[in-house]
Amino acid sequence: MLPAIVLITLALAPLGLLARTGPRPLVGWALALLPALSFALLLFQLPQVTGTTQIREVIPWVPTMGVELSFALDGLSLLFALVITGIGTLIIGYAGHYMHDDPGLGRFLLYLILFMGAMLGLVLAGNVLTMFIFWELTSVTSYLLIGYKHDYPGARRGALQSLVITAGGGLALLLGLLILGEGARHAGVAPNQIYNFDAIIAAGAEIKAGPFYTPALLLILVGAFTKSAQFPFHFWLPGAMQAPTPASAFLHSATMVKAGVYLLARLAPGLGDTPLWHAALVLVGGFTFAFGALVATRKDDIKALLAYTTLSMLGGLIMLIGLGGKYAAEAVAVNILAHALYKSALFMIAGIIDHEAGSRDLRHLGGLRRMMPATAFFIALALLSQMGIPIFFGFVGKELLIEAALESLLAAPWRYAALAAIVIAAVGYIIAAWRLFKHAFLGTSSPTLAQRHHVADPRGMLVSPAIPALLSILVPLALLPWASQLLAPAASVVYGKPISFDLALWHGFNTALMVSSGAILLGILLARFERPLAALPPHLPAWADGADLLDRLLAGVDRIGGLIMGTLQTGQLRRYMLYNTITLLLITGVPFVLYVLPGLSFITPDPQLRIYEAFAAALIPIAVVAAIRAESRLSAIISVGVVGAMVSLFFILFSAPDLALTQLLIEVLSTVFLLLVFSILPARFANLSSPATRMRDAILSGMVGLLVAGLVLATATTTIFEPLAPYYLENSLAKGKGQNVVNVILVDFRGFDTMGEVTVLLTALLGIYGLLRMRREKQ
């Protein structure tokens, strides 16, 4: 059933194209049925998924290497899947309204549904490689969605940057996962199980002890931090706000950016509890948590503000996973749900404001409460939940957040650092939320807003944000028991051991309540004196802005590429030969001299060697000298032909007729071809290159000659590999039904190679045919 959900969603993505025809909103909601159905299906699985039990379904792909499309459902993946499909349903419906006048809606929905399938695949994956495939697919679809309005340069830049960062992280992740697999193999996991999540987590202790742990973890962290836009790599998320709002609401708030959090949460029980793990997660997560909140207070564009609060919340989640412990696991589960609810609502309402009021910039908005009362009500709900005001779901999340920081088992400084980050973030959220609400909805409407004649609550579009906003208040009030039944399995997966808890609004007076109310008071105070805050320098110093850095990096790469291209591709055959020889000398020559040469045993002259064989060998250099000193093309061709004949003479002397025949045939035929070609070229060598170049070429070719001689000698005297000849000799007659071993090998044992060779011949012919045909047309 699991693979069905993922693969059907992916397969039905083209249905999105239907949105081109018919009434857009209606088609939107019709398409939304698909995720709604998956939501319902997944919800039924809830009873089976208690504690850390798992439903597993496997489609074998490469069984021997343990590579298979395996899907598993447990508490954590169920929570994520429900968030994805639930919010997905709302988003697709919302998109139908939001983009009803946009011709490309079909294409947009195609990407969106494709993304949803990929995201579902990611969270439902049972083995690391399946997860990675969908991980990359989400990066690609996110690139397509961000770059949806491809005629805007800003959108293209944002899309490119997000792709470079997330795909780059994906590479690091792949490497990390493979090393992790090796670590699992090293730790004794069965070879075809090394990539399964549960096997890795089970063998966690041994892996952590093994040598592969640190590199694997670092690379995986890079993958997770780039995906979840953590501090050094955070700048692509604000850039991704170029995407249409439905995409921002879905990808860049609720689902895709949480993939990094999901991965770390899933690996926590296995790979967590090591100093490296705690340090990295708490430090990076905590810093992004505080940093994101502070920067959010400075932003005037609503979507940028929301983007920074999102990446800050992600930082908080990662910090929680770093803190570890029972409360942290609970906090992670609760906050994932809480954040998904209020942030998607905020993004959708931001879309409504942009759609109705024509701008997202707080400076151009104001007094919308009179024109859009319903929207004002719902955005108030969502903002209050974000600020963590008591009766809201956000408050429950923040309570657990603070308890996790207090009760974590880490050393004191870590806990206080985490607590400080939480307080800063809480204050930041309050200021940002207050600024958003005040400038957009309170006060008088700005001059630009005044001219817009028709600004009112949009009918259908408001439905989608309303549901999560209402849930942010209803869940803490009425649905807590049901919610805790949903969140308990998720938390137990993160914690590693089954835990059950029942959420409650009121935990009595404890330090957590003190801290959170203190933070709220501080926030309100600071929000009052908002003007001095505005005086602070708005942005980071230029050099620290990640986006510019990346642009300069990409431009640099282009320049270097052009440079290399220029020097290498000069169009002269001589230069290509030169580069080939130099590469050959470096790549084979150097290791040969270092490793093989010392061990080379010069074979003692073989007793049967006749004097005439030795003397014949001495003749070949004469022909070579003749070829070098030839001053006309024809003499050069003749001498080269003679060298070939002498070599085939040797094959005859050592009675290898097949080889002699083939060698000589090729030799004469190439002489004839050269004659045909050269009869077109001017007879004399037009201009011999300068003595210096000729000396250089002489030296180079001399060295290559020595290298090849050495290689032949090495292969003749090596004892590392046992010779193949005996096998072929004895089986030639039995299996191959022929005494002529050479041909039996060519045609029977290694028939496939000959097949390849003949195809190469044909391709070469087609190449020549094409080239000459082009020349004929030109003349």
Partner 1 sequence: MNLFSIVMGILLSILVISLGLTMIRLLIGPSIPDRAMAFDTIMLHVVGIGSITAALTDAVMLIDAVIVVAVLGFLGTVALARYIEEGGN
Partner 2 sequence: MYDSIILRSVARLMLPILLMLAVFMLLRGHNLPGGGFIGGLVASCAIILQLVAFGPEAARRVLRVNYLGLAAFGVFFAALWGLPSLIGGQPYMTSLWIPEPIPGVGKIGTPVLFDLGVFFGVIGVTTQIALLLAEERRPRETHDAGTPAT
Q: What is the distance between the alpha carbons of residues 579 and 585, in angstroms, rounded to a whole number?
A: 10
* Binder among 665, 708, 764, 766 for partner 1 (CB under 8 A): 665
- Give alpha helix (H) positions in 679-779: 691-717, 725-734, 741-744, 751-778
User: For partner 2, which is the closer residue by CB, 20 or 750?
Assistant: 750
Beta bridge partners of 70: 58
* Nearest residue to 296 (alpha-carbon basis) of 320, 321, 315: 315
Residue 648 binds: one of partner 2, partner 1, none (C-beta under 5 to 8 A by kind):
partner 1
- The position carrying tokens 């041994």 is 206
Cβ closest to partner 1, residue 47 vs residue 607: 607
What is the C-alpha separation between 226 and 250, in angstroms, rounded? 18
Give me the least distance between CB of 670 and partner 2, in Å please.
10
CB 274 within 8 A of CB 265: no
Considering the complex, state which of residue 611 and residue 680 has its C-beta at the smaller distance from partner 2. 680
If one asks whether residue 409 binds partner 1 (CB under 8 A), the answer comes out as no
What are φ and ψ of residue 358, in 5° steps? 80, 0
Residue 635 or 740: which CB sits closer to partner 2? Answer: 740
| Binding piece for partner 1, criterion CB under 8 A, among 120-128, 551-559, 623-631, 759-767 | 623-631
Q: Is 683 in the site for partner 1 (CB under 8 A)?
A: yes
Stated as kind and residue range, the H or E segment containing 60 is strand 55-62
Calpha distance 392→376 (Å, rounded):
17
* Closer to partner 2 by Cβ: residue 43 or 652: 652
Query: Binds 747, which of partner 1, partner 2, none (CB < 5 to 8 A, cut-off by type)?
Result: partner 2
Any idea of the CA torsion for 522, 528, 529, 531, to the nearest 10 degrees?
130
Residue 161's identity, in one-letter code, is Q
Q: Which of 82, 172, 642, 741 binds partner 1 (CB under 8 A)?
A: 642
Residue from 442, 549, 622, 698 touching partner 1 (CB under 8 A): that is 622
Handedness of CA 151, 155, 157, 162 (dihedral sign): negative
- Structure tokens, 116: 């949803």
Contact range with partner 1 by CB under 8 A, out of 270-278, 405-413, 674-682, 770-778: 674-682
Min separation Cβ 773 and partner 2, Å: 9
Which of 420, 672, 698, 729 lies at the binding interface for partner 1 (CB under 8 A)? 672
Q: Of 657, 756, 767, 770, which one interacts with partner 1 (CB under 8 A)?
A: 657
Q: Which two tokens stand for residue 510?
A: 């404890």
In angstroms, the CA 324 to CA 490 distance is 14
At a CB cut-off of 8 Å and minimum separation 6, what does 79 contact? 333, 336, 337, 486, 487, 489, 490
The reply on whether position 653 binds partner 1 by CB under 8 A is yes
641 binds, options partner 2, partner 1, none, Cβ within 5 to 8 A by partner type: partner 1
Instruction: Establish if 729 lies at the interface with partner 1 (CB under 8 A).
Output: no
The enclosing H or E element of 217 equals: helix 213-227
Size of the site for partner 1 (CB under 8 A): 40
Distance CA 61, CA 711 (A): 41
Q: What is the 3-state secondary structure (H, E, C) of 230-251?
A: CHHHCCHHHHHHHCCHHHHHHH
Q: Which helix (H) or strand (E) holds 56?
A: strand 55-62
> Given the complex with partner 2, which of 152 and 654 has the nearer CB atom?
654
Q: Examine residue 612 and tell whether it contacts partner 1 (CB under 8 A).
A: yes
- Pick from 488, 464, 474, 467: nearest CA to 400: 488
Answer for which of 506, 509, 602, 615 binds partner 1 (CB under 8 A) is: 615
Name the residue nearer to partner 2 (CB basis): 719 or 739.
Answer: 739
The rounded distance, in Å, linking the Cα atoms of 298 and 318 is 24
Residue from 679, 693, 701, 715 binding partner 1 (CB under 8 A): 679
Residue from 664, 707, 741, 744 touching partner 1 (CB under 8 A): that is 664
User: Which is nearer to partner 2, 470 or 661 (by Cβ)?
Assistant: 661
The least distance separating partner 1 from the CB of residue 668, rounded to whole angstroms, comes to: 4
769 binds, among partner 2, partner 1, none (CB under 5 to 8 A by kind): partner 2
In angstroms and rounded to an integer, the radius of gyration of the C-alpha atoms of the chain is: 35
Chain positions 108 to 167 lying near partner 1, rule: CB under 8 A, are none
Q: Whose CA is closest to 260, among 215, 220, 200? A: 220
Closer Cβ to partner 1, 168 or 738, answer by number: 738
Contact call for residue 743 and partner 1 (CB under 8 A): no
Task: Examine residue 661 and tell whether it contacts partner 1 (CB under 8 A).
Answer: yes
Residue 670 exposed, middle or buried by CB count within 10 Å (0-12, 13-18, 19+): middle
Q: Which is nearer to partner 1, 345 or 637 (CB)?
A: 637
Among partner 2, partner 1, none, what does residue 164 contact (CB within 5–8 Å per kind)? none
Task: Report the alpha-carbon distance of residue 413 to residue 293 in Å, rounded.
Answer: 22
Closest approach, Cβ 678 to partner 1, in A, equals 7
CA pair distance 420, 515, nearest whole angstrom: 10
Which CB sits closer to partner 1, 175 or 661? 661
- d(CA 236, CA 310) in angstroms, rounded, equals 13
- Binding residues among 322-381 for partner 1 as defined by CB under 8 A: none
Least distance between partner 2 and beta carbon 684 (Å) = 11
3 state SS of 724? coil
Q: Please choose which of partner 1, partner 2, none residue 18 contacts, taking the beta carbon within 5 to 8 angstroms, the exact cut-off set by kind.
A: none
Which residues contribute to the site for partner 2 (CB under 8 A)? Answer: 657-658, 661-662, 665-666, 668-669, 672-673, 676-677, 679-680, 682-683, 735-740, 742-744, 746-748, 751-752, 754-755, 758-759, 761-762, 764-765, 768-769, 772, 775-776, 779
Establish if 670 lies at the interface with partner 1 (CB under 8 A): no
Q: Which does 752 bind (CB under 5 to 8 A by kind): partner 1, partner 2, none?
A: partner 2
Alpha helices, H only, 245-301? 245-249, 259-271, 275-298
For residues 440 and 445, what is the distance between their CA atoms, to the nearest angstrom?
8
CB 621 → partner 2: shortest distance, Å? 28
Closest CA to 231 of 325, 315, 313: 315
In angstroms, what is the minimal distance from the CB of 633 to partner 1?
Answer: 8
Q: Which does 167 bind (CB under 5 to 8 A by kind): partner 2, partner 1, none?
A: none
Cβ within 8 Å of residue 603, ≥6 positions away: 713, 716, 717
Q: Which is nearer to partner 1, 175 or 620 (CB)?
A: 620
> 51 φ, ψ to 5°?
60, -140
Least separation in angstroms between residue 629's CB and partner 1 is 8
At closest approach, how far in Å is the CB of 724 from partner 1?
21
- Three-state DSSP at 72 gives strand
Q: How far is the CB of 730 from partner 2 (least distance, A)?
A: 16
- Footprint on this chain of partner 1 (rule: CB under 8 A): 610-612, 615-616, 618-619, 622-623, 625-626, 629, 632, 634-635, 638-639, 641-642, 645-646, 648-649, 652-653, 655, 657, 660-661, 664-665, 667-668, 671-672, 675-676, 678-679, 683
